[in-house]
């Protein structure tokens, strides 16, 4: 008995609405159901003002980066034929999507490992988006979709700046480029640009000066792995820039910032000289030094940082062992600091070294310590004397393993935080990156394990977490101040 196809009998409006709720890949696949469904997905796609042409959208769960590896020839070798086939499929898929006559494309995202040999096709796709008055443009051609390395500069795609006129360029509010070359780019046509993010782009200080002067409305600037930046200067009296992120650009000498409207700064890289000339509103600061230079983070915090940024209200530092076993007793005050976040990469005995930072912030409201234990040797530091905190209300400890030192350290906080309301303990390590903030490792996706091995890893981690929580609760509950909430997450 053949069942009736009652779904195909529904009005077009309902079918189009239903398809608009599906992923792009699922909607396209409905074209094979029947003659009526063949072009239905295209009509529904017109209802969307956003195109996300990402390989993970196309392949969904069938796409795994590890499928390109060819371990027979070494850990960084790949199956070239398979990569070429996947590129062919991706290009055909995008071509099909771009044939739809969209009335408007507000947001356009292209994301796959494509090199300059595909420049003609990529130019065509971007040209369509520009003609449809695109406002948010993301071109991510990073090899990291496929490999843990990126192509050389000579293989990178040249961003087609010539496709933009002053009219179409002025519509663009957000521009994100990853693994492209800019060429002699004239940013003057992007006069309305608010958000500019450049990753794995070869630029220098001259380029940065040009687009800062050409984009008077720029509020957010993100520079990631942008080489040839020995020095970095962000300056301009008319700058509207509020958010500046500089990640692994390997500036070797100085970062000079003169930007009155800047409120947030995030830096990750080698220790560098900071020169803050006029930043009266800079209140949120994140500094991560690379693993071999972790001690510099604490040295800077214990030295010039408070005088460099006296208005700072939130500080996030990645820190390691301090050179020496004596804890400084006299530190300049962080008079306005309300939130202190420390990502601590060190031996457990080293936690006492961070108490002076807490003591130097008398108006601190929130303290977060995210622990990562390294294998480096460390001298046991002297325990600091008690010093009460009269404003600290919330403490977060992650990566907690309930060692005797961690327990003693937590009890020290109990004794000295006079208005503490809540302490949150997470017995799992939290990882951080500038795009997603704090996150947890996923056994199923991040390690590339088989489902069976990933499931086993999840169970073992859950068992270990529960055991640590029980140990920590047993050792802390009797010392918990009255009215303070102890939470395990």
Q: Which residue has the tokens 């005797």?
A: 404
- The tally of domains found in the chain comes to 2
Question: Cβ distance 448 to 66 under 8 Å?
Answer: yes
Give how far Cα 101 sits from Cα of 43, 97, 109, 128, 301, Å: 9, 9, 17, 10, 56
Q: How far is CA 268 from the centre of its chain?
A: 12
Q: Which residues contact 3 (CB under 8 A, 6 or more apart)?
A: none
Q: What is the pLDDT of residue 285?
A: 98
Residue 465 CA neighbour count, 13 Å, CB half: 15
The CATH number for 28's domain is: 1.20.1280
Reduced to 3 states (helix: H, G, I; strand: E, B; else coil), residue 29 is helix
Tell me if 374 is assigned to some domain.
yes
Instruction: Give the bridge partners for 426, in sequence order.
Output: 398
Instruction: Give the bridge partners for 221, in sequence order.
Output: 196, 244
Residue 75 CA neighbour count, 13 Å, CB half: 2
Alpha-carbon distance of 380 to 403, in angstroms, equals 14
Tell me if 193 is assigned to some domain.
no
Instruction: Give the bridge partners for 258, in sequence order.
Output: 235, 278
Tell me if 126 is assigned to some domain.
no
Tell me if 356 is assigned to some domain.
yes
Q: Phi and psi for 228 in degrees, rounded to 5?
A: 70, 20
Beta strands in 248-393 (DSSP E): 254-258, 264-269, 273-278, 284-289, 314-319, 339-345, 366-372
Tell me if 43 is assigned to some domain.
yes
Alpha-carbon distance of 95 to 157, in angstroms, equals 18
Tell me if 225 is assigned to some domain.
no
Alpha-carbon distance of 476 to 238, in angstroms, equals 53
Give how far Cα 100 sits from Cα of 103, 105, 191, 349, Å: 9, 11, 29, 62
State both tokens at 63: 């796409």
Q: How far is CA 122 from the centre of its chain?
A: 26
Tell me if 314 is assigned to some domain.
yes
Nearest Cα to Cα of residue 372 among 394, 351, 395: 351
- Give the range of the structural domain holding residue 19, as residue numbers without chain letter: 8-48
Tell me if 460 is assigned to some domain.
yes
The radius of gyration computed from the CA coordinates of the chain, to the nearest angstrom, equals 27
- Which residue positions in the chain have pLDDT lower than 70? 1-25, 27-28, 30-47, 59-78, 144-154, 321-330, 347-349, 374-381, 443-450
How many CB atoms lie under 10 A from the CB of residue 177? 21
């Amino acid at each position: 008995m053949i069942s009736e196809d009652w779904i195909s009998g529904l009005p077009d409006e309902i079918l189009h609405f239903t398809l608009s709720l599906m992923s792009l890949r699922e909607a396209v696949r409905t074209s094979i159901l029947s003659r009526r469904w063949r072009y239905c997905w295209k009509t529904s796609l017109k209802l969307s003002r956003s195109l996300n042409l990402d390989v993970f959208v196309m392949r969904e769960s069938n796409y795994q980066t590890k499928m390109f590896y060819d371990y027979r020839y070494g850990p960084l070798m790949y199956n070239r034929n398979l990569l070429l086939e996947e590129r062919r499929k991706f290009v055909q898929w995008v071509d099909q999507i771009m044939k739809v006559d969209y009335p408007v494309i507000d947001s356009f995202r292209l994301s796959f490992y494509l090199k300059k040999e595909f420049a003609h096709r990529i130019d065509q796709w971007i040209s369509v988006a520009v003609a449809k008055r695109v406002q948010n443009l993301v071109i991510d051609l990073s090899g990291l979709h496929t490999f843990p390395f990126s192509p050389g500069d000579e293989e990178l795609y040249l961003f087609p700046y010539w496709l933009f006129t002053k009219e179409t360029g002025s519509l663009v509010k957000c521009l994100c480029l990853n693994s492209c070359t800019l060429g002699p780019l004239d940013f003057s046509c992007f006069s309305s640009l608010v958000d500019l993010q450049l990753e794995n782009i070869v630029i220098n200080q001259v380029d940065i000066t040009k687009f800062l002067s050409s984009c008077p409305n720029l509020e957010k600037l993100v520079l990631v792995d942008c080489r040839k930046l020995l020095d970095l200067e962000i300056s301009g009296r008319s700058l509207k820039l509020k958010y500046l992120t500089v990640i692994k650009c390997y500036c070797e000498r100085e970062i000079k910032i003169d930007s009155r409207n800047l409120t947030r700064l995030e830096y990750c890289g080698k220790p560098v000289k900071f020169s803050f000339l006029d930043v009266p509103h800079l209140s949120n600061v994140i500094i991560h030094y690379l693993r071999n230079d972790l001690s510099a983070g604490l040295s800077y915090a214990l030295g010039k940082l408070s005088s460099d940024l006296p208005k700072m209200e939130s500080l996030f530092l990645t820190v390691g062992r301090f050179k020496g076993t004596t804890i400084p007793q006299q530190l300049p005050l962080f008079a306005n600091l309300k939130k202190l976040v420390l990502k601590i990469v060190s031996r457990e005995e080293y936690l006492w070294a961070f108490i002076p930072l807490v003591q130097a912030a008398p108006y601190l409201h929130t303290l977060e310590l995210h622990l990562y234990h390294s294998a480096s040797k460390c001298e046991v530091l002297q325990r600091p004397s008690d010093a009460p905190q009269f404003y600290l209300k919330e403490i977060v400890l992650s990566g907690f393993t309930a060692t005797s030192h961690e327990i003693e350290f937590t009890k020290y906080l109990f004794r000295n935080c006079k208005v503490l309301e809540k302490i949150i303990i997470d017995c799992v390590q939290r990882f951080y990156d500038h795009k997603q903030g704090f996150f947890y490792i996923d056994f199923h996706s991040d390690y590339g394990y088989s489902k069976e091995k990933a499931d086993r890893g999840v169970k073992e981690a859950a068992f270990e977490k529960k055991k640590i929580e029980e140990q920590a609760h047993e050792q802390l509950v009797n010392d918990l101040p009255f009215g303070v909430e102890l939470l395990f997450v």
